[in-house]
Structure 1
Amino acid sequence: MAGKSERIAIENVLQPGKTYPVDAAKFNAMREAVLAVLPDAAPGVTVPKLKEAVLPRLPESLFPGGDKAGWWIKAVQLDLEAKGVVARAPSAPVRLHRT
């Protein structure tokens, strides 16, 4: 049986004070890709455009064919919002940018 992958605790801006354990390698790879493509100012980028920009930056070994990328983008988004690194525009659609 293969060893367990390293886990890290992430936050969720929608549930302050609560953390969730996730795969560290996948989270860190997605975080790096998201931060590389997010604009520095509002209005930001929509989530579908973010996903489009992030997919080519992801390691195929962790996200084969972009598998589960949408879930990981959301996890990174909510964690970075909780930490004040990313903000979303006040109106729909969701648009994200660095703070």
Structure 2
Amino acid sequence: MGDRVEVENVNHPGRTERVDAAKYAAIRDLMLAALPQGAPGLTGAQIKDALRPDLPQDLFPGGATLGWWAKSVQLDLEAKGLVQRAPTRPLTFFRPT
């Protein structure tokens, strides 16, 4: 089944899920590189667009499941305090300063 990593969800404190470690690490690294420090940040759609060019095709052939992974990693990074959301509509996300 491969290596797994536990992820949190800022919307459900105390609840964790186990996901593929290689896919998680790939999205996490790309997301942290793409997100600016400080508001206003990027929307969810902008985050996916920023990740897509460097997405490892061996892990995500044709970009399959990118949306799910981007959201899962974003929620985990928020729970860990590495990403914040701005109170905007649509929501935007950024790295804390």
- Shorter-normalised TM range: over 0.9
In 2, Cα distance between equivalents of 1:91 and 1:44? 10
The alignment of Structure 1 onto Structure 2 pairs a total of residues equal to 96
Aligned-residue CA RMSD in angstroms? Answer: 0.6
Q: Find out whether 1:98 has 2:68 as its counterpart.
A: no
In 1, Cα distance between equivalents of 2:88 and 2:29? 26
In 1, Cα distance between equivalents of 2:65 and 2:42? 20
In 1, Cα distance between equivalents of 2:4 and 2:47? 25
In 2, Cα distance between equivalents of 1:65 and 1:32? 19
Question: Which of structure 1's runs of 4+ aligned residues deviate more than 3 A?
Answer: none
Higher gyration radius (CA): 1
Aligned to 2:43: 46
Q: Find out whether 1:10 has 2:3 as its counterpart.
A: no
Amino acid paired to 2:87: P
Percent identity between the two aligned chains:
53
Q: Which runs of 5+ in 1 are unaligned?
A: none
Q: Which runs of 5+ in 2 are unaligned?
A: none
